[in-house]
Amino acid sequence: MAKSVAIQGFKSEAITYRERAVANLERQIGVYALCDLDGTPIYVGQSVDGIQSRVRRHLTSARSDIIANRQVDVWEIAWVMAWPAERDSITRLEASLFHHFDASSALMNGSVPILPSDPIPFTRAAQILQVMPSAEIDRRREPSARLPRQIEHYGRLVDHYLNVKSSAELRVSMEAHFARLTKYHLRFLEQAGPAPSGSDDAKEQ
């Protein structure tokens, strides 16, 4: 019982940290990026009703298609980047940022925006906000915690694709997740140490 109460208390602390952090997020309309435990963007989106409002819906799983479709695991989101923008430039900015980040690490968006003929040059986000306590980021980055979690999430995504929504967009998301799983798998093996070079039984054969 004591252990259960302690775990619940820790979860509440993490949630409280996130709520307080999001309260300081940019309220203007524009483009945002959800970033993983390594600070790498995993999803780029736009909001015409306020960046803070949109991101809050993602982080609470409330009325968020990318969460409902299993494209993004909230467990992974540790930072949020924000680019306030004028309404008539939001779509072009979103496409430009998507292709900038997707080129180095595949995003979970699913749908791929068309890169405009006059893309907006990349600029550093106006705001980079940490939405998870540092101690929790370190704990979740441990390969022994991260790999099993993301294997489970990939399984949920595949199940959703097979039984709920077999769209081309979700297939793209699955490919992005699988590429990340390979990276987590290698990190796990590195932490586990070198593979055995052989055994006495093998030598006898």
pLDDT at 1: 43
- Closest listed residue to residue 101, CA positions, set 45, 48, 59: 45
Split at pLDDT 50, 70, 90, the class of 194 is confident
Give, for 43, the enclosing helix (H) or strand (E).
strand 41-47
Q: Average pLDDT of 15-38?
A: 96
pLDDT in tens, 69-94: 999 999 999 999 999 999 999 999 99
Q: How much is the pTM?
A: 0.88
The label of the residue with tokens 């940019």 reads 26
Q: What are phi and psi of 110, to 5 degrees?
A: 90, -70
Phi, psi of 116 (to 5 degrees): -65, 155
Tell me the residue type at 195: A
For 112-151, the pLDDT digits (tens) are 999 989 999 999 999 999 999 999 999 999 999 999 999 9
Q: Is the pLDDT of residue 153 over 90?
A: yes
